[in-house]
Structure 1
Amino acid sequence: MIDLELFRQKSSSEYPGNRKLVAKLKLLKGKQLDGKFAEAHEKKFQKIDCLTCANCCKTTSPIFLQTDIERLARVFGMKPSEFIDAYLHRDEVGDYVLNSSPCPFLNADNTCLVYAERPKACREYPHTNRKNMHGILNLTLRNTLVCPAVFEIFQDFGSQYGK
């Protein structure tokens, strides 16, 4: 299991340096940056098992698209409006997010009750292997505070590019 308290302390103390690193990463060309992140993502997730952590599920909410809401409502035998009333609210920018943390679908063993039907944002998290990393570098920086794998990717990049 990952020591989440130690992770929180370490990721918080490294955040200013990681913020400086983002400025350096922005200088890389789009495909070059995407490739670096995709390679780093593959390496980290060969070593890190999300089930030893689940910090994302414990502390943050994915954005629920309408298709996610409809799919999950079917899983629970609910109408989409009932699913929204039971689990979601609109955030400050109007996106549907969970009412509470940890995620109500997180099991005690860090598995997901709705894994096969989970929201798109959960399927793609932590977004470090997607195209157009330039467009989400600030989100990825914030994810260094949530996901140990993203934090480690930034640590490795810091060794390569300096902070």
Structure 2
Amino acid sequence: MIYTEETIDQFNEESRLKYPENRKFFDRIKNKKLKNLDQAFHPKHDEVFEKIDCLNCGNCCKTTSPVFTDIDIDRIAKHLRIRPAELVKQHLHLDSDGDFVLNSSPCTFLGSDNYCSIYDYRPKACREYPHTDRKNIASILPLTLENTKVCPAVFEIVEQLKSAGLGK
């Protein structure tokens, strides 16, 4: 499926309905302590991202906030030619975990065309999202499960891994 603003509601509903099943799948993976999880996820990541164009979707930028590290804040502020404190004052706040996150959604830096106005300077969390090609993916399984509700690509990867019998 091609994910666009017109089809994202359908994705949101499907991902919500499949979440309990996906949680059980992730529990099985965690309990089995599969050693080759990266070898299962990474090829699926590559395959799915050959078909899904993030610029058609942008659901992550429209619904969630990345964590902004001090390094991210300094880099972005320098690019915007403002003081880091001004960037924080204008766009960020500390969440309950003590992390800097955006004040609102969609992302302040997201354009109507789904392009990021600070793409070359974006936070590390954005650069690495959705983390399905990360080494030692077993260490972020709870995050990956949550990302099945945000990112159609993660949802597709998980659906393919379930169909392939991973965790059985």
Structure 1 residue identity aligned to 2:135: K
Amino acid across the alignment from 2:90: A
Which runs of 5 or more residues in structure 1 are unaligned? none
CA distance in 2: counterparts of 1:76 and 1:116, whole angstroms = 12
Amino acid at match of 1:123: R
Q: Contact between 1:34 and 1:132, CA under 8 Å: does it hold in 2?
A: yes
The one-letter amino acid paired with 1:36 is: A
**C-alpha separation in 2, matches of 1:141 and 1:78:** 36
The answer to whether 1:22 aligns with 2:35 is no
Computed over aligned residues only, the root mean square deviation of the Cα atoms, in angstroms, reads 1.3
After TM superposition, the score normalised by the length of structure 1 is 0.96
**Runs of 4+ in structure 1 displaced over 3 angstroms?**
none
Residue 59 of structure 1 aligns with an amino acid whose one-letter code is T
Shift of 1:24: 2.2
**Whole-Å separation in 2 of the counterparts to 1:118 and 1:95:** 16
Residue-pair matches, total: 162
Aligned pairs for 1:38-57 (under 5 A) are 38-57=42-61
Kept after mapping to 2: 8 A contact 1:21/1:161: no
Question: Which whole-Å deviations, capped at 9, do the CAs of 1:44-66 have from their partners, x for residues lacking one?
Answer: 10110000100000000000010
User: Is the aligned partner of 1:125 residue 2:157?
Assistant: no
- Cα distance in 1 for partners of 2:102, 2:150 equals 17
Q: TM-score, normalised by structure 2?
A: 0.93
Q: Deviations over 1:94-143 (max 9, x none)?
A: 00000000001000100100001110000000000001111110110000
Query: What is the CA–CA distance in structure 2 between the aligned matches of 1:128 and 1:146, rounded to whole Å?
Result: 13
- Whether the aligned pair in 2 keeps the contact of 1:33 and 1:134 (CA below 8 Å) is yes
The one-letter code matched in structure 2 to 1:130 is R
CA positional deviation for 1:28: 4.5
